[in-house]
Structures are given as C-alpha cells and as structure tokens.
Amino acid sequence: MSNIPNLIEKFIHEHVTEQEIKTLITQDGFMDSIKEAVPRIWKVITQSIDILSSVLSLTMVVLYTLFILLDYEEISKGWVQLLPRRMRPFTVKLVNDVEQGMNLYFRGQGLVALCVGVLFSIGFLIIDFPMAIGLGMFIGLLNMVPYLQLVGFIPTILLAVVKAADTGQSFWLILLSALIVFAVVQIIQDTILTPKIMGHVTGLNSAIILLSLSIWGSLLGILGMIIALPMTTLLITYYQKYVVKRR
C-alpha cells in the first residue's frame, strides 16, 4: 500500500494545527476573497474555452478552404450536376453573368481607387501633411469599398496631432486643411470619377449608382456596398430581358 497518504497526514499534523485552520477560515475577508476569486477563475476558464473554440473553428475553415482550392476545377465543373436538368442552363448563365459583373465592377472600382489615392496624395502634398503619399494611397485602397475611405479619418487625425506637436502649428488648422482635402476629393469622386468610370463599366447613370449603393448598403452593410453595382446591373438587365420584352 502506498505511503504517500501517511506522509501527507504526518506533514499536516506536524506543521498545521486545527486552531490555525479555524483562524484562517474565520478570518475577516476570507470568504469574501473566495467569493471574488471563484467568478474570476470561471471567467478565465470560459475565455480559454472560447479561444480554443475560435482556434478550432479557424483551423476547420482553413482546411475546408484548402481542400476546396485543391479541387476547385472539379467543383466548378461538377456543381451544376447537383441541380435538376431543366434548371441547369439558366443557373449556369446566371452564375456566369454574376461573375462577369463582379469582374467588371472590381476593375472599375480599382481604377476609381487608384485615382482617388493619387488625388489624396497630391492634396496632402500641397498642404505639407505627414506621410502624404502613403496616407493618400492607403485611403485610395480603402475606396475599393465605396465610402470606406471614411476610416482614413483615424490615421489623418493622428498624423495631424504629430504634425502639430512637431511644428507647433494649430492642430485645428492642420485638421481643417486635411478635411478640405477630403471634401474636395470626395466631390471630384462623386461628380466625375464614379459616374464616368463606373457608369461606363456598368452602364448605370450616377443617380442609379448612388441609389443602389444606399439601398444595398442599408440592407447588407459593407457586403451590400461591394455587390451593389454588379447586382443592380444584373437585376436591371434581367428585368429588361424577361419582363419588359415579354410585355
């Protein structure tokens, strides 16, 4: 029989007395400490479980994505076989139209983002703003999603603080000059770039473009603003093809 329990019992008898245990338990604040410690321990345990679950979920997503990419050609050719035969021609045409519309949209939006980035860089250089070219191109990159360049206000404010601290100029004057650059570029984008470039790519006029961005954005958020123009173009095309022509 193991002698470990006997050793533990001997150690307790030699070093810990019954009176000391009673004093410790009845000490003021002991139970309060226990009550405070238990929720914290439970919180740490639940957070650890959440982190492990998130890591596991991310791992599964990466694995599924990897397997899908490895078999992409077979999947892209074979998924249509899962549909009823009478629905296959229309579904294939619909998927191809959506893919073509998304490709055209991203090409047009990429050109708009590049132009916006160049304009911001020029504007920031004119007002002698810190990191003018880098900040301008970053805001242009954000413009891949319409109106996401508003996020660029955060680094702009921080850089305005840095410039004010470095040069001693008024922070509000520096920020005002940066806001003027934002306003001028936004006006050029909304009145010239987006209607001309995206209108040419999608065939929509500026009013329809702004309306579609507002509607899809309110419905689906950022995702809606990404798919707004190609889906609006597709809906108008199919409406004219299947509704107007039949009438």
Each residue's pLDDT, cut to its tens digit, for the chain (247 residues) gives 444 456 666 666 666 666 656 655 555 555 566 666 677 777 878 888 888 888 887 787 777 667 656 655 565 566 666 667 777 777 777 777 777 777 777 788 888 889 999 999 999 999 988 888 999 999 988 888 766 778 888 899 999 988 888 888 888 999 999 999 999 998 998 788 877 887 777 666 667 777 777 787 778 777 777 777 777 777 777 776 666 666 6
Residues 31 and 61 in one domain: yes
Establish if 73 belongs to a structural domain: no
Q: Which residue has the tokens 């597709």?
A: 234
pLDDT on residue 184: 93
Total of domains in the chain: 2
pTM: 0.57
The angle, 0 to 180 degrees and rounded to 10, between the axes of the packed helices 88-126 and 222-239 is: 130
Residues 111 and 55 in one domain: no
- Domain extent for 35: 4-66
Establish if 36 belongs to a structural domain: yes
Establish if 79 belongs to a structural domain: no
Q: In the chain, what is the greatest distance between 2 CA atoms, to the nearest angstrom?
A: 100
Residues 231 and 118 in one domain: yes
- Cα distances (angstroms) measured from residue 80 to each of 92, 95, 183, 242: 7, 10, 48, 23
Residues 182 and 62 in one domain: no
Tokens of residue 3, six digits: 């002698």
Give kind and range of the element (H or E) at residue 104. Answer: helix 88-126
User: What is the C-alpha separation between 60 and 63, in angstroms, rounded?
Assistant: 5
Kindly write down the DSSP assignment for every residue of 3-33, as one continuous string.
SHHHHHHHHHHHH--HHHHHHHHTSTTHHHH
Q: Of the candidates 210, 242, 207, which has an alpha carbon nearest to the alpha carbon of residue 225?
A: 210
Characterise 129 by phi-psi region: left (phi > 0), alpha (psi -120 to 50), beta (else).
beta
Residues 199 and 89 in one domain: yes
Establish if 115 belongs to a structural domain: yes
Q: Is the dihedral of CA 107, 109, 112, 114 positive or negative?
A: negative
Residues 44 and 166 in one domain: no
pLDDT on residue 121: 93
Residues 59 and 97 in one domain: no
Residues 144 and 212 in one domain: yes
User: Quick check: 229 and 202 in contact, CB under 8 A?
Assistant: yes
Establish if 44 belongs to a structural domain: yes
Residue 152, classified by CB atoms within 10 Å of its CB into exposed (0-12), middle (13-18) or buried (19+), is buried
Characterise 221 by phi-psi region: left (phi > 0), alpha (psi -120 to 50), beta (else).
left
Residues 140 and 27 in one domain: no
End-to-end alpha-carbon separation of the chain, Å?
95
